[in-house]
Amino acid sequence: MADAKGPDMSTLVQVRDEFCCYTTSDFNHQGLTQAHFTYEEIFELRTYLRHGVRLAPDAVVLDVGANIGLFSLFVKQECPSARVLAFEPMPAVVEALRRNLDLHGVPDVEVHALALGARREEAVFTYHPALSCNSTNRPEGKELLLEMQRVLFGEHAAGSEEVRVDVDTLSAVLERRSDLDRIDLLKIDVEGAELDVLRGVGAANWPRVDQVVVEVHDRDGRLADVLALLGAQGFRTSSQASSLLTESADLREAGAEDVPPGDYLVYATRPR
């Protein structure tokens, strides 16, 4: 399929013979690479359904850091009756997310143009148009990753701009939603702000959460902090290195001398 631009400057790319989606990249190669990686991680490797994590047909799922919506699409493919709330703060990414839901005939995912964190505030995010999955409000520690992107994709791949977005806590969201008496799965992929999201869940709201899968960028002991926080809330936890996210051989071959500290996926379930 030829790449096509929509009026919002999203790019339509063919990921697999049976699957295409909109990306946010102005650089088609980077958008396709990002979509390939995300599709493989979610749909083919089924990364989020491991270590005892499972979805009931009527599951309630919070997709925090939804990006262009592939995890939300996966949940609705697995469980068409599931309720999904997708949280994504970057305006251009939200537009691609909405277009992907429309493209795949999934109109019933709630999209919230909002970041979740430890407190209600307005925050400055660093948005990477070429590789939107790296957008973050925690740019510190991204230097090596950005250098690798330059090596692999060219100087434009590390380009960024600042975007101001609204941040709220998950507890505040839940307290406004009496219809969400349970959260079957809380999925978090927020590029370094994962502890902030978890700390934004008050003690009174944790019993509503049954399972958590969170991507952790292990800087300054963050993995241990995440495991301790979830353990203190009564979860049984396990973690694994995210092999796709930490693969370094291709990067070294391309000329990068160092790789970032490890990235992990943490799985947390209630004892059953």
Q: What CATH number does residue 261 fall under?
A: 3.40.50.150
Low-confidence ranges of the chain (pLDDT < 70): 1-9, 25-31, 128-159, 243-261
Question: What domain range includes position 134?
Answer: 4-269
**Which amino acid, one-letter code, is at 20?**
C
pTM: 0.85
Q: How many domains does the chain have?
A: 1
State pLDDT tens for residues 31-58.
Answer: 677 888 899 999 999 999 999 999 999 9
Helices 91-103 & 70-78 angle (0-180, nearest 10): 30
User: Of 193, 265, 218, 238, nearest to 47 (Cα)?
Assistant: 265
State pLDDT tens for residues 123-149.
Answer: 888 876 666 666 665 655 555 555 556
